[in-house]
């Protein structure tokens, strides 16, 4: 079977290997779609944390079951399934407390272990969610939306609150839509005017500001000096991660969704004065996936997926997905 491997930064290779063997407790899957996310882009660029080369990328997966043993989830051959790519141990303190998303021994497909950029993959049965009612493209965007759903659940956002989302990439866009569904007033921040326009035209965000044009002043005026009760960083950019608290209300919270390899520095008087609640949000849980699936039809999938290619054309197109001028939001790779 064919697969694509990231040999080292800026280097992909299309290769062939023997068909993957299914282990006990696993299902053999035909990969149908692989969404390209920031993790893949960062890995290719050489600035992804928790990463080693060579690695088969891909963790936003839509697949079909080829082989599966009898199981308590009722899954069967031919079922369409979403893969939760977070392989947790089930026994560490995080897992025992239901926080499988931050398992101390976690192995994320496409990051710590080989992912789905291959024709066939074997995955633990407990990581599969049957979604026969969804299209493959819809299935492949559930995972990145679940990242946003988890971040939102980590917060204390209530209907009517003003929230700031820094970064109009796929995670940020998903977070904005989900925040709207619970009644929050969303403020989008980015440097890319096309992305900001997308959040207004397609997501329905009412307030979108360029971070180069006095975002603190704009948010101050909009909220009548209150600022935002919750701020989410969906960039992983060091400067954004360090300045997000500037948009936050006194008594508010700052949720770090994006991941940086750098050390971060905060002025303690500034965060202390606001009694800042600083939280990180990592991955997602089954509850988050189920929430997204329930509301997926309210999301503009067709406009969100801007680029689609067959896996045989992925390598020649990947570099262009790093360029904002191409207008990419979500690229999708087909294995049909």
Q: CATH 3.40.50.720 occupies which residues in the chain?
A: 146-280
127-157 tens-digit pLDDT: 999 999 999 999 999 999 999 999 999 999 9
pLDDT at 1: 95
Is residue 62 within 8 Å of residue 50, measured between CB atoms? no
Find residue 332's DSSP bridge partners.
35, 308
Residues with Cβ within 8 Å of 303's Cβ and at least 6 positions away in sequence, in order, are 198, 202, 329
Q: What is the mean pLDDT of residues 244-273?
A: 96
Q: What angle do CA 100, 188, 99 make, to 5 degrees?
A: 5
Quote the CA–CA distance of 97 and 277 in Å, as a whole number.
21
Residue 272 carries which DSSP code?
Answer: H
Find residue 61's DSSP bridge partners.
34
Q: Is the pLDDT of residue 50 over 90?
A: no
pLDDT at 261: 83
pLDDT at 275: 98
pLDDT at 20: 83
Q: What are phi and psi of 232, to 5 degrees?
A: -115, 125
The CATH superfamily of 2-141+299-334 is Medium-chain alcohol dehydrogenases, catalytic domain (3.90.180.10)
Query: Pseudo-torsion of CA 230, 236, 240, 243, nearest 10°?
Result: 60
pLDDT at 144: 97
Which string of DSSP letters, residue by residue, matches 323-336? Answer: -GGGT-SEEEEE--
Q: CATH 3.90.180.10 occupies which residues in the chain?
A: 2-141+299-334
pLDDT at 218: 98
Confidence of residue 325 (pLDDT cuts 50, 70, 90): confident
The CATH superfamily of 146-280 is NAD(P)-binding Rossmann-like Domain (3.40.50.720)
Confidence of residue 39 (pLDDT cuts 50, 70, 90): confident
161-192 tens-digit pLDDT: 999 999 999 999 999 999 999 999 999 999 99
E strand segments, the chain: 2-8, 11-16, 26-36, 60-68, 80-83, 86-87, 107-108, 120-124, 128-130, 162-166, 185-190, 207-210, 228-233, 248-256, 277-280, 305-310, 330-334
- 286 CB neighbour count, 10 Å cutoff: 16
Q: Is the pLDDT of residue 324 over 90?
A: no
Q: What is the mean pLDDT of residues 232-260?
A: 96
Q: What are phi and psi of 68, to 5 degrees?
A: -160, 140
Q: What is the mean pLDDT of residues 268-273?
A: 97
Confidence of residue 52 (pLDDT cuts 50, 70, 90): confident
Is residue 283 within 8 Å of residue 304, measured between CB atoms? no
Q: Is the pLDDT of residue 201 over 80?
A: yes
Q: What is the mean pLDDT of residues 299-325?
A: 95
Strand-pair category, 207-210 with 120-124:
unpaired
Mean pLDDT of the chain: 96
235-244 tens-digit pLDDT: 999 999 999 9
Confidence of residue 56 (pLDDT cuts 50, 70, 90): very high
Q: Is the pLDDT of residue 287 over 80?
A: yes
């Amino acid at each position: 079977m064919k697969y694509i491997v990231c040999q080292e930064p800026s280097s992909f290779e299309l290769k062939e290997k023997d068909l993957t063997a299914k282990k006990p407790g696993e299902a053999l899957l035909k990969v149908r779609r692989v969404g390209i996310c920031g993790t893949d882009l960062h890995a290719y660029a050489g600035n992804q944390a928790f990463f080693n080369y060579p690695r088969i990328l891909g963790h936003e997966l839509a697949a079909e079951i080829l082989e599966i043993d009898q199981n308590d989830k009722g899954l069967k051959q031919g079922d369409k399934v979403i893969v939760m790519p977070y392989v947790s141990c089930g026994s560490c303190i995080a897992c025992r407390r239901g926080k499988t998303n931050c398992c101390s021994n976690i192995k994320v497909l496409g990051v710590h272990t080989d992912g789905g950029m291959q024709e066939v993959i074997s995955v633990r049965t407990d990581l599969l969610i049957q979604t026969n009612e969804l299209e493959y493209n819809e299935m492949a965007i559930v995972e990145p939306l679940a990242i946003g759903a988890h971040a939102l659940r980590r917060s204390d956002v209530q209907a009517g609150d003003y929230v700031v989302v820094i970064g109009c990439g796929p995670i940020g866009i998903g977070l904005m839509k989900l925040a709207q569904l619970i009644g929050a007033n969303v403020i989008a921040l980015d440097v890319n005017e096309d992305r900001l326009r997308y959040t207004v035209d397609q997501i329905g965000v009412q307030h979108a500001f360029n971070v180069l044009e006095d975002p603190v002043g704009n948010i101050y005026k909009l909220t009548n000096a209150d600022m935002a009760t919750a701020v989410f960083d969906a960039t992983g950019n060091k400067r954004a991660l360090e300045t997000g608290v500037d948009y936050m209300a006194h008594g508010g919270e700052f949720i770090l969704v994006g991941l940086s390899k750098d050390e971060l520095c905060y002025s303690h008087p500034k965060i202390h004065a606001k009694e800042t609640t600083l939280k990180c949000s990592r991955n997602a849980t089954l509850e988050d996936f189920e929430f997204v699936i329930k509301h997926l039809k309210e999301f503009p999938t067709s406009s969100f997926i801007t680029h689609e290619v067959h896996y045989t054309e992925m390598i020649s197109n990947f570099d262009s997905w790093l360029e904002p001028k191409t207008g990419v939001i979500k690229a999708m790779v087909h294995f049909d």
